[in-house]
Structure 1
Amino acid sequence: MMKIFLIGFMGCGKSTMGKKLAQKLGYTFVDLDHEIEKNLGSTIGAYFAGHGEDAFRKLESETLKTFDYPANVVIATGGGAPCFFDNMDWMNENGLSIYIEMSPAALAKRLESGKDKRPLLKDLTEAQMIEFIEKKLNERNVFYQRALLKVNGINLTADAMRAAVLSWQ
Structure 2
Amino acid sequence: MERIFIVGYMGVGKSTVGRGLAALMGLSFIDLDQFIQSKYHKSIPDLFKDNGEEGFRTIERKALIEVSEFEDVIVSTGGGAPCFYDNMTVMNNAGTTVYMKADVEELADRLQASKTVRPLIAGKTREELIPFISAHLSARERFYNEAKIIYYTDRLVTKQQVHITIDGIAQQIKNYRYVK
Q: Same-fold call, TM > 0.5?
A: yes
Paired position in structure 1 for 2:31: 31
Structure 2 unmatched ranges of 5 or more: 156-163
What are the equivalent positions in structure 2 for 1:118-129 lying under 5 Å apart?
118-129=118-129
Stretch deviating more after TM superposition (18-27 or 107-116): 107-116
Structure 1 unmatched ranges of 5 or more: none
What are the equivalent positions in structure 2 for 1:18-167 lying under 5 Å apart?
18-67=18-67, 70-114=70-114, 117-155=117-155, 156-167=164-175
AA of the residue aligned to 1:34 = Q
AA of the residue aligned to 1:23 = A
Q: How far apart are 1:115 and its partner, in Å?
A: 6.4
TM-score, with length taken from structure 2: 0.90
Q: Sequence identity, in percent?
A: 37
Instruction: State the secondary structure of the residue aligned to 1:157.
Output: helix
Matched-pair contact (CA < 8 Å) for 1:7–1:14: yes
Distance 1:31 1:84 in 2: 18
Distance 2:41 2:93 in 1: 30
Matched-pair contact (CA < 8 Å) for 2:68–2:94: no
AA of the residue aligned to 1:4 = I
AA of the residue aligned to 2:45 = G
Aligned residue-pair number: 169
For 1:63-112, what per-residue CA distance to the aligned partner results, in whole angstroms no more than 9, with x for missing partners?
10023754211100010000000100111111000000001110000010
Matched-pair contact (CA < 8 Å) for 1:104–1:133: yes
Instruction: State the secondary structure of the residue aligned to 2:110.
Output: helix
Once superposed, what is the RMSD of the aligned Cα atoms? 1.4
Distance 1:152 1:67 in 2: 25
Distance 1:141 1:154 in 2: 17
Q: How far apart are 1:168 and its partner, in Å?
A: 0.8
Instruction: State the secondary structure of the residue aligned to 1:52.
Output: helix
